[in-house]
A and B are shown apart, each in its own frame.
Chain A
């Protein structure tokens, strides 16, 4: 999956985001670029967070932005990776609700999505791998990690 992020250009690396809304728009950009989602997908995700809170922060440091499966703004099934050097905070009252690693989900195919999620869960279940992803700053380093980890 890490290799696929690079090969499909489903990854981006940024210094920082102005706020979490800005981060959501930026993490969707690789998926917008190849037509996997429309530009409105980011706004859909932002609306979800406004409605339900920052539940997309799976654990301190890691967010998994996503909206409705098979929704109007989704044209394909993929996961895109974004790394920010500075943490993005989602809740000013809860310092644990931050992310540097963003795994943005899009799905118009539940079967393929399930396969993607199983691969993602392998990555997110490994504290070592998350620590290594925190150190990655560009595509070359991500590819090197992909080769090293076999993922």
Chain B
């Protein structure tokens, strides 16, 4: 089972929208995800290491280099409302979400 964190600057706007898109994607694709969360960048930097995948706006990717070094897959999204973009990037991130 996989854990996914959605992160933006404030934790209540963009990341919340990402979390809503993520819920739809998980449901549509039948992904096996046991834990999702959304939060601000300051909290995200501290807890990102506890997640398999971190979703964030494209320009936030570099802020998660420490989490990426520790093995988390950091995925930058251009359109946080797009289920297609999120699905495609999750499919290609190298983590098996179906078993």
Q: Which of B14, B21, B78, B83 contacts A56 (CB 8 A)?
A: B14
Residue A68, interface by CB 8 Å: yes
Tally A-B pairs: CB < 8 A.
66
Say if the beta carbon of B82 comes within 8 Å of chain A.
Answer: yes
In the complex, whether B41 has a CB less than 8 A from a CB of chain A is yes
> Are B13 and A59 touching (Cβ within 8 A)?
no
- A 89-116 contacts with B by CB, 8 A: 96, 105, 107, 110, 113-114
User: Within 8 Å of chain B (Cβ to Cβ): is A2?
Assistant: no
List the B side residues contacting A69 at CB < 8 Å.
Answer: 10-12
Q: Which of A54-80 contact B (CB under 8 A)?
A: 54-56, 58-60, 62, 64, 66-69
User: Could you mark each residue 6-19 of chain A with 1 if its beta carbon is under 8 Å from any beta carbon of chain B, else 0?
Assistant: 00000000000000
Closest to A96 in B: B78
Other-chain contact of B17, A53, A60, A124 (Cβ < 8 Å): A124
Q: Does chain B have a CB within 8 A of A125? A: yes
Q: Return the chain B residue nearest A64 by Cβ.
A: B13
Report the nearest A residue to B57, measured CB to CB: A55
User: Cβ of A53: which chain B residues have Cβ within 8 Å of it?
Assistant: 57, 59-60
* The residue from B20, B59, B83 contacting A52, defined by CB atoms under 8 A apart: B59
Distance of B92 from chain A, by nearest CB (Å): 20
Q: Which of chain A's residues have a CB closer than 8 A to the CB of B80?
A: 58-59
A121 at the interface (CB under 8 A from B): yes
Asked if A131 is an interface residue, CB under 8 A from chain B, the answer is no
Q: Is the CB of A54 within 8 A of B16?
A: no
**With A54-B59, A69-B11, A117-B16 given, can you name 14 additional A-B contacts, CB distance below 8 Å?**
A53-B60, A55-B8, A55-B9, A55-B59, A58-B79, A58-B80, A58-B81, A62-B81, A68-B12, A69-B10, A117-B13, A117-B17, A117-B20, A120-B17
Binding site for B on A (CB under 8 A): 48, 51-56, 58-60, 62, 64, 66-69, 96, 105, 107, 110, 113-114, 117-118, 120-121, 124-125
Tell me the B residues contacting A by CB distance below 8 Å: 8-14, 16-17, 20-21, 41, 57, 59-60, 78-83
